[in-house]
Amino acid sequence: MRHPHRIAIGVSLALLVSLAAAGCSRSTLTAPEPETAPTAQAVTPPAPPSRLAGPSILSADIQLPPILPLVTKTWYVLTARLVPKAEPTIVSGGRYELSFARGSLDKDALITIEEYDNDILDIELGPHGTVFGEPVVLSIDFAGTTADPGSAWADGREPVVYWLNEKTNLWEEVPGTTDWARRRHNVRLEHFSRYVVGGKAGWKQQPNREQD
């Protein structure tokens, strides 16, 4: 007489052998593998805001730049320096140099030079609207621009500075002199405002306009 438990054991063994022979997958006989943790993805920081597009003195078809708003985050501070009212001081930043004489300022002032693109000679000098007792000399390095006779793309332009008259919303020329040996253009400023450097040849009488 057969014993039931022996029959059960035999059947179980036969079943296991059959499963192995049939190539039963590992997952059928064992617990499932733990889920793999998702791989951390690199977070790309947002791109900085693009700078305002504008004509450059480096381009052959330069025109007076549009009157862009000053209240914009795309203007970058090149330099900021506290200038005492009673001391001759030179403030430099980028292509620009400001020379203060004794008596230019009636009080100490934090002087700033800002631009929105280092290929466009378009700057804001601050504190905006400051009026000087003695003119401040602005010297601008134009080496490598179309006004530079030694540059590969020189086009015979003579550098000239314009300031933005906010009452008329027009550019006005600032008389100046050019040091061709040092590739610098110098003007005497009566006040601080927005200034742009261009070339007389081929310039329009009025600047292009851009809606704010």
Q: CA 83 from chain center: how many Å? A: 26
**Residue 128 exposed, middle or buried by CB count within 10 Å (0-12, 13-18, 19+):** middle
Q: Which pLDDT score, from 0 to 100, does residue 203 have?
A: 40
For the chain, the distance separating the N- and C-terminal CA atoms, rounded to the nearest angstrom, is 104
55 within 8 A of 62, measured Cβ to Cβ: yes
Cα separation, 80 vs 60, in Å, equals 32
Q: Which pLDDT score, from 0 to 100, does residue 206 have?
A: 38
Q: Which pLDDT score, from 0 to 100, does residue 80 have?
A: 97
pLDDT means per 10 residues, the chain with 212 residues, are 50 47 39 44 38 37 52 80 95 97 96 91 95 97 89 85 91 94 97 88 41 32
Q: Which pLDDT score, from 0 to 100, does residue 118 have?
A: 83
Q: Which pLDDT score, from 0 to 100, does residue 42 have?
A: 40
Cα separation, 201 vs 205, in Å, equals 11
Q: Which pLDDT score, from 0 to 100, does residue 107 have?
A: 96
Partnered with residue 67 across adjacent β-strands are none
